Amino acid sequence: MLLIIIIILSLISVDILKNNQKENSSCLRASAVINMKRILILIVMLFGICLTGNKPVVKAIEKQIDVYLIAGQSNAAGFSTNNRSLLLNLDERYVNGFSDVLYYGRVGNEKLYNLVNVKSGLGSNERIGPELGMASVLSDHYQGRKTTLIKFAVGGAYLADEPNHNVSVSHGTWSSPTMIAENGGKKFTKSGLIYENFLKTVNDGFFALKAQGYTPIIKGIAWMQGCQDAWSSTHVYKYAENLSMFISDLRSDLGKIMNADLSKLPFAIGKINSKYNASYVNEVRKQQDIVLGSVKYTYEVETSELALPGTDNAHFNTADMVELGKLFANALLTVNNSNFVKINSLSGGNGIGGGWKVPGDTCKLIVIADKGYGFSKAIMTINGKEVDITNDFIGNQYQYIMPKEDVEFTLLYIRLPVYNININLGNGGNIYRTISTRNPYQGEEITFTVMASKGYELASFIINGEEVELTENNTHTLVVNQDLDVEAKFTLISSSEDNSDGNNNEPIIEETGCKSNQIVLPFTLYTIGMLFFAFFRRIKLK
């Protein structure tokens, strides 16, 4: 069509030139020249449009795709049973795949999956991880718009920079640059190697998405880790400090990959299961709560309702692993509907219950004082207005409805008095007590155990001048709120027994069995001797 227009305009221009030659008027010639220039410009513009495919030149709009990251140790990697029949009953997409949710990543040094549809078998040795449940929620939430999960996780990995562990030796640790620097530098050559490999996996995943025409946008991180650190008395009490530095470093380094400010990137923290059998499970959970209440844009994912043992003693079963993924996705999707609860705990204790909360939800603040300290005061601040809520606590808990604004709690603690335990012992026994290496703080529970020596028995047990009754195990437990003077009195058990026959005090000798032995043994020896004498005499006579 445009070519036809150009041809027509060209013919018109030629006609104008011919007419111009016939005209003698200079004015008409000038007008013809101007019209000719206009026509030529129009022809050039139309010709340019033809060369660009009959379309105006418009920059191509890139396809944006939201990306969610998965990191941590084995329950992030995926060690749960791939029960395909159960998964098909739950949602056939778990087995057949989610067409609108892509997956990039690997577990440890296992197979790399390069932008496949999320389905069962993407965990360690083709087991399942939280990607299944996350894909289910994301697919329903985005309603057909594609999203991506990128994962790198290593089972049994430390967050702390611990060199003396088999996983550390083979894969390294999650330790971030600031963590390593704060702890005096790398402890061994593979310090922080898992952290570095995670960033590499994310970067490679972005490259793969861009190759398919996508512009990736990181929307949040699902973090399931802490079980390994829960075995270490060295690292457990630094977990909150380490995790806080880790989150800050990760947001910064991911921001460099995206060339964007990710200081507010949502970070969902999976609490380690309370039924896990490590030595310091409760302490790690407490440390995770400290982070949730102090680091903004962190979200709690509670796992205590999930069953352990599951697939085994450390890993969730098939259905619970799917549920874990759903919990992660839902936590990360509540970003725009939440407000932050910040907890400021001055020295002497911690508060549990911070993090992002949905307005209208019923929330709890739990106060836990350190040994030697007692909870003293709590201030709740909303929109700059402070309210003393100390008297509203029931025990160590305060319950409230989350408002539509951020909430800040400030908790104060006081040093508890120490009480002396003075133990008075006479002859005949001993008193043992719990908390034996120091004097107890006010409110601490102490148990006394009384043990009589051989030949003695307990006569009385006295505390601060009053006789106290003991249990069947000779123990007594009390809460200490004053100095204690503790005393035990023992009496000697008589060793003599009434063995007289009524006529004298001489003991009666039991002869049954003994008298026969006194006769038989000498007779036997005498007989043997005579036999030997006769035998040797006979030999001599021969």
Percentage of the residues of the chain whose pLDDT score is greater than 70: 80
Nearest of 82, 334, 79, 73 to residue 198 by alpha carbon: 73
The parent domain of residue 175 ranges over: 63-337
> What pLDDT is attached to residue 337?
82
Mean pLDDT computed over 168-176: 97
Q: Are residues 312 and 359 in the same domain?
A: no
> What pLDDT is attached to residue 523?
53
Of 91-95, 103-107, 218-222, 440-444, the least confident: 440-444
Mean pLDDT computed over 324-329: 98
Report the alpha-carbon distance of residue 255 to residue 150 in Å, rounded. 16
> What pLDDT is attached to residue 283?
95
For tokens 């990128």, name the residue: 150
Give the chain's mean pLDDT. Answer: 85
For tokens 């069962």, name the residue: 120
Omega cis (within 30) before 440: no
Of 7-16, 271-280, 398-407, the least confident: 7-16
Mean pLDDT computed over 374-398: 96
Hey, what's the torsion of the CAs at 269, 363, 379, 334, to 10 degrees? 50
* Interstrand relation of 456-463 and 466-467 (parallel, antiparallel or unpaired): antiparallel
Which pTM does this prediction carry? 0.72
Asked, for residue 290, whether it belongs to a domain, the answer is yes
Domain count, the chain: 3
Q: Which of 337, 363, 378 delimits the end of a domain?
A: 337
Of 170-179, 403-412, 481-490, 527-536, the least confident: 527-536
Mean pLDDT computed over 119-127: 97
Q: Are the C-beta atoms of 141 and 100 separated by less than 8 Å?
A: no
Of 147-161, 248-262, 394-408, 502-516, the least confident: 502-516
Asked, for residue 89, whether it belongs to a domain, the answer is yes
Of 42-46, 430-434, 527-531, 536-540, the least confident: 42-46
What's the first-to-final CA gap in the chain, in angstroms?
154
pLDDT digits (tens, 9 = 90+) for 399-458: 999 999 999 999 999 999 999 999 998 789 999 999 999 999 999 999 999 999 999 999
Asked, for residue 34, whether it belongs to a domain, the answer is no
Mean pLDDT computed over 16-22: 46
Write down the number of H helices and E strands in the chain: 13, 22
Q: Are residues 325 and 357 in the same domain?
A: no
DSSP lists the bridge partners of residue 453 as none
Mean pLDDT computed over 229-237: 95
pLDDT band at 534 (very low <50, low <70, confident <90, very high): low
* Most confident residue range from 23-37, 371-385, 484-498: 371-385
Report the alpha-carbon distance of residue 222 to residue 152 in Å, rounded. 11
Asked, for residue 497, whether it belongs to a domain, the answer is no
Q: Are residues 400 and 254 in the same domain?
A: no
Asked, for residue 271, whether it belongs to a domain, the answer is yes
Q: Which residues of 79-99 are buried (b: 16+ CB within 10 A; e: fewer)?
A: bbbbbeebbeebbebbbebbe
Nearest of 394, 388, 385, 386 to residue 364 by alpha carbon: 394
Q: Are residues 302 and 406 in the same domain?
A: no
* Most confident residue range from 13-27, 31-45, 137-151: 137-151
Q: Are residues 184 and 209 in the same domain?
A: yes
Whether the predicted pLDDT of 486 surpasses 80: yes
Crossing angle of helices 239-258/193-211, nearest 10°?
A: 30
Q: What CATH code is carried by the domain that includes residue 80?
A: 3.40.50.1110
Long-range contacts from 377-382, C-beta under 8 angstroms, 24+ separation: 377/411, 377/412, 378/409, 378/410, 378/411, 378/412, 379/409, 379/410, 380/407, 380/408, 380/409, 381/407, 381/408, 381/409, 381/410, 382/406, 382/407, 382/408
> What pLDDT is attached to residue 47?
45
Percentage of the residues of the chain whose pLDDT score is greater than 90: 75
Q: Are residues 310 and 403 in the same domain?
A: no
> What pLDDT is attached to residue 54?
44
Asked, for residue 502, whether it belongs to a domain, the answer is no
Amino acid identity, position 265: L
Q: Are residues 307 and 283 in the same domain?
A: yes
- Give, as one character, the DSSP assignment of residue 423: E
> What pLDDT is attached to residue 525?
59
Mean pLDDT computed over 2-28: 46
Q: Which of 282, 302, 337 delimits the end of a domain?
A: 337
* Most confident residue range from 248-252, 451-455, 504-508: 248-252
Whether the predicted pLDDT of 53 surpasses 80: no
Q: Are residues 430 and 369 in the same domain?
A: no
> What pLDDT is attached to residue 62?
58
Q: What are φ and ψ of residue 240, in 5° steps? A: -60, -45
Hey, what's the torsion of the CAs at 79, 85, 88, 89, to 10 degrees? -110
Q: Are residues 259 and 350 in the same domain?
A: no
Bigger pLDDT: 495 vs 79: 79
Query: How far, in Å, are 71, 172, 178, 192, 249 from residue 186 at the CA level?
Result: 22, 11, 11, 8, 16
Asked, for residue 431, whether it belongs to a domain, the answer is yes
* Most confident residue range from 28-32, 92-96, 509-513: 92-96
Q: Are residues 131 and 242 in the same domain?
A: yes
Q: Are residues 367 and 380 in the same domain?
A: yes
Q: Are residues 344 and 282 in the same domain?
A: no
> What pLDDT is attached to residue 168?
97
Q: Which of 298, 314, 337 delimits the end of a domain?
A: 337
> What pLDDT is attached to residue 494?
77
Asked, for residue 166, whether it belongs to a domain, the answer is yes
Whether the predicted pLDDT of 89 surpasses 50: yes
> What pLDDT is attached to residue 58?
39
Tell me how far apart the 2 most distant CA atoms of the chain are, in Å: 186
Whether the predicted pLDDT of 42 surpasses 60: no
Neighbouring C-beta atoms of residue 338, cutoff 10 Å:
19
Mean pLDDT computed over 165-187: 96
